[in-house]
Structure 1
């Protein structure tokens, strides 16, 4: 199943909000030069579906890299 352009733009916006929330609450900056170099933001609705897809992957990669750097040891799954 492939995503529609509108769905990618929505996901792009959600990832941008996750980044803003993370940076605001941790004081850390997400390094994502690849994302910034693309020049595609969630509000860039004139950009192609392919552009937004690449931006989503680049932003998600930057976010996961930042979060992985914080994890010192894996957390085990447990029910409270």
Structure 2
């Protein structure tokens, strides 16, 4: 598995095979993911399920801590369309 450094939380994270599948499916490049994770404009939020959501408002990644290892488990584009 590949590792990425996430400056927001000062930790390295491993990319799971699932995240690569979602990136291909959703048209998100590794460059876009890295840029979002390293951006000072991104924010990290702890979710109720103890996963961490990192987002820049356009692209979001969900991270899961397992022991001392942090995994990037999925990535998606935020839908900005308003419901009617």
| TM-score, structure 2 as length reference | 0.28
Higher helix fraction (1 or 2): 1
Higher RCO (C-alpha 8 Å, min separation 6):
1
Higher strand fraction (1 or 2): 2
